[in-house]
Homo-oligomer: A and B are copies of this chain.
Amino acid sequence: MKYHEDNLVPHKAALINPAANVVNEDVCLPAALIKKSALENNIRWMQHYADTRGVSLAPHGKTTMTPWIFQQQQQAGAWAIGVGSAWQASIAMASGIKRVLMVNQLVGKANLTLIARLKQKYPDIDYLCCVDSIANAQALSAFFNAQGQTLDVLIELGVTGGRCGCRSAAQALELAESISGLPGLRLRGLELYEGVLHGDNPQPAVEALLRDAAALACQLERFVDGEFLLTGAGSVWYDVVCNVWLAAPKPANCRIAIRPGCYITHDKGIYQQAQDALMARDSSACDAGGDLVSALELAALVQSVPEADRAIVNFGKRDSAFDAGLPQPIAHYRQGKALPAPTALMETVGIMDQHAMLKLKPGAQLQVGDVLLFSTSHPCLTFDKWQALLLVDDNYNVLAELATAF
């Protein structure tokens, strides 16, 4: 339905001036910002890490669902882009991505139909998805064989109490045996997501799962023609995945692919904590030089200072993730001029749908109309609040509007 015939304001972070600067209030705020230099740093850093370790990088694209970012990752050397659904796969393919790793089960008549049409439309794109049950393998076989197509699949290994995935090597082997007898399916390897393991110190369990997976891969090798793909690793344990799998016995022709997603923008919350822990334990990450830096910020306006120690800012749950710590103020501007960093004197203590509440300490010089920049925690859930993000340079000049696809 066409609701905005005049195209006056294409999205909520509307650019009012052609040469827009965010901190100069040339943009309707709140807005979500991608700092280009930080993004480029992160793309380069993680690609360098993967190259140095001798593994392939398949960044999880579900984090951003931003085609321009997919393209930057691919151009920098990413071997594939990971997605979580058939529809996300369609976005990646239409964005020019050459290999799409759907790290999820493919179910549902429309989703299967969509993938069949995409395989027909983009015959050169390598598309893979995961299976963890004979029932699903049989359904996929029946459908794709009837289309005269072959679907490339990975067996997913899971853990009890976790998400998807076979719960034992025996189950996985039985599934591989089944797949080998089903037309229209081709087994390509083994997938897991170790991030489902939680607790005070999940590292031993993560390492045990990875060793089990490598051993299982050796048993599955006979079902796979050509290269065996062994893939895991979100943004928290990618070093451990490399350590264990590079050292373990595995199929002779084995490609290891890691799939971090949130590294792309990093954050100043849960992923900073995870990366700090990784840098402390992983000498190859330290040797790589530099580190990931936060690339996603929110810009918002002070709309009310109703009490001496309380300010209300005009972003809320409709604009930002709030499930893993609230966005915190990191910079303060008034009429385009930077004021001292507000971090010691202001803290975000509450959030509603359209508002955030700041607790102010004595000395916080906050006025109605001031611009604040906020760091974020858990980038995924901020991305999906925006139909467009603003790509900015280090001085917060707007370089481009980046469309998202949610």
Contact = CB atoms under 8 A, between A and B. Distances in A.
A67 interface: yes
Nearest to A385: B384
Contacts of A8: 90, 94, 117-118, 121
A307 B405 contact: no
Interface string A70-114: 000000000000001111101100110000000011011111011
B163 A110 contact: no
A24 B110 CA distance: 9
A12 B110 CA distance: 11
A306 B158 contact: yes
Contact of A28 (B11, B108, B310): B108
Contact of A114 (B28, B160, B163): B28
Interface of A: 1-6, 8-9, 11-17, 24-29, 62, 67-68, 84-88, 90-91, 94-95, 104-105, 107-111, 113-114, 117-118, 121, 132-133, 135-136, 139, 158, 160-167, 301-307, 310, 312, 314, 317-318, 322-323, 352-355, 357, 367-369, 371, 380-381, 384-387, 400-403, 405-406
A98 to B, nearest CB: 15
* Binding site secondary structure of chain A: loop
> What 6 A-B pairs come out closest when comparing CB atoms?
A3-B67, A25-B109, A164-B304, A105-B303, A84-B354, A16-B110
A3 B85 contact: no
Contact of A165 (B26, B304, B317, B405): B304
A207 B179 CA distance: 66
B107 A369 contact: yes
B94 A405 contact: no
Given A12-B87, A318-B406, A369-B139, A307 B132 contact: no
B114 A14 contact: yes
